[in-house]
Amino acid sequence: MKFAVYAGHGGADPGAVGVNKREEEDLTLELMKLTTDVLQNSGHTVINNRTSDVNRDISADARKANSNKVDAVLEFHFDAASASAQGTTGFYCDGAADSKKLAQCVNDELDNFFKDRQIKPDTSTRHGRLGILRETNAPATLQEVAFITNAADVATYDAKKNQIAEAAARGLLKYFGLSLKSTTNSNPAAIQGTVTDVAPLLPKAQFKGQTPIRKWKSGVNIQVRKHSDYWYKASVEVSSKWVTGYIYRAHLKNVKPVKGTDKFTATTVGQAIWWDNDKLNGGEVLYYKPGTKMSHYGAVKGLYSAWFSKQNKKFYTTTYWLDK
C-alpha cells in the first residue's frame, strides 16, 4: 500500500516549544522518519512532506498526497499547554466517517503509551478546520502524539520513540485490516523466545548482575519512594523479613504522590528492555511488550543477546525477560 506520513511545522514555523526548549518541528520530523522506516520495512510505499527543517505548505502537501494517490494520510504533531496537561489526541475531518475510523485506529495504539484524550473532530480545534484533513482525497488523521510541554510525556517519548513509531504504523495498517510485519530482530539458527510479563524488583539500582527480589506482573498496585531520576525503591517481605529493592521507572505507570508522605502509589508494567551494550546501562535502548516473539542466542554470563537488523547491531537483555 502507499501512505503519506507527514511531519507538522518546519522551517520558519517551529511549532510549539516545550520541555528543555524542545521544538515541535524536530519531534514531528523524527517520529515521521521512524514511522516511515517501520512501514517501508513492512513492504509499503511511503511519501513524506519534508525530510529536513524546511518550510512546509499544507495545501502543497495535500496535493502531493493526492497526486501520488496514497491510501491514507497520517500527520504528526505534539500538543502544548500547561506543564500538567498530558496525553495523546487524534483528530479527524468532521463529518468524514473514514477519517474518524482512521483516527481511532491510530489513537488506540498511541494511548498504550500516553493518557488517552480520545479522538476529536477538527472543528473542535482553535483553527476550526485542519487543511491536511480537508484537502486530501484519502482518509486522513492528524495525531497530537503527546504534550511537548509535559516532562513525563517527553520522557516517555524519548525512551520509547521506536515503539511509538511502530504503534502508529500498526494503527495505520489496522484501518485496512492489515498487520505489521515483524521488524523486531533476525537471528538465524537462534533460540525462539517470548517476552515475559515481568517488572523486576532488584537488590541494587542496576540491571547487570542482579537477581530479582520479586518479579511482578503488569497491573500490580504498589507503593514506592523515589531513589533517583530513573529508579524507585520498594519494600517487600521475603522469608518473614522486610527487604528494600529498586524498580526502574519504565516498569511503573500512574505514579502519584501520597499526600503528606514521601511515598508514591504506582502500577507495575511488565516489559523487556534490550541494551546495545552488555553493561545494560546507557546507549540505545529498546522496549518490548509481553508476548512478543523474539529470536536470540543462548545465555552467556547471565545475558541473552540478539542481532537487530534494523539497528544493525547486537543488543543484550537479562534471561528473566524471555521464555523459551
The predicted-structure confidence for 184-218, as pLDDT tens digits, reads as follows 555 544 678 899 999 999 999 999 999 999 999 99
Q: Cβ–Cβ contacts within 10 Å for residue 222, how many?
A: 19
Asked whether the beta carbons of 179 and 173 are under 8 A apart, the reply is yes
pTM exceeding the 0.85 threshold for the entire prediction:
no
Which of 115, 98, 103, 7 lies closest to 54, judged by CA? 7
Asked whether the beta carbons of 163 and 207 are under 8 A apart, the reply is no
Distance CA 148, CA 163 (A): 18
Distance CA 291, CA 300 (A): 23
Comma-separated ranges of CATH 2.30.30.40 domains in the chain: 191-323
> In CATH, what class is 2-174?
alpha beta
Distance CA 265, CA 225 (A): 9
Which of 173, 94, 97 lies closest to 127, judged by CA? 94
Q: Which amino acid is at 263?
A: K
Q: What is the pLDDT of residue 32?
A: 96
pLDDT, one tens digit per residue, over 23-40 is 999 999 999 999 998 888
Residue 273 C-beta-side C-alpha neighbours within 13 Å: 24
pLDDT, one tens digit per residue, over 221-243 is 999 999 999 999 999 999 999 99
Q: What architecture (CATH level 2) is domain 191-323?
A: Roll (2.30)
Which of 38, 120, 44 lies closest to 79, judged by CA? 120
Answer left, alpha or beta for residue 240, where phi above 0 means left and psi between -120 and 50 means alpha. Answer: left
**Number of DSSP helices (H) and strands (E) in the chain, helices first:** 5, 20
Q: What is the pLDDT of residue 201?
A: 98
Distance of CA 271 to the CA centre of its chain: 13
Distance of CA 191 to the CA centre of its chain: 27
Asked whether the beta carbons of 296 and 322 are under 8 A apart, the reply is yes
Q: What is the pLDDT of residue 67?
A: 98
Asked whether the beta carbons of 205 and 215 are under 8 A apart, the reply is no
Asked whether the beta carbons of 11 and 61 are under 8 A apart, the reply is no
Q: What is the pLDDT of residue 183?
A: 47
Comma-separated ranges of CATH 3.40.630.40 domains in the chain: 2-174
From first to last of its 324 residues, what are the pLDDT tens digits of the chain? 999 999 999 999 999 999 999 999 999 999 999 999 888 878 899 999 999 999 999 999 999 999 999 999 999 999 999 999 999 999 999 999 999 999 999 999 999 999 999 999 998 887 766 889 999 999 999 999 999 999 999 999 999 998 999 999 999 999 999 987 654 555 544 678 899 999 999 999 999 999 999 999 999 999 999 999 999 999 999 999 999 999 999 999 999 999 999 999 999 999 999 999 999 999 999 999 999 988 888 888 889 988 787 777 889 999 999 986
Distance CA 12, CA 259 (A): 45
Q: Is 133 exposed, middle or buried (0-12, 13-18, 19+ CB in 10 A)?
A: buried
Residue 16 C-beta-side C-alpha neighbours within 13 Å: 20
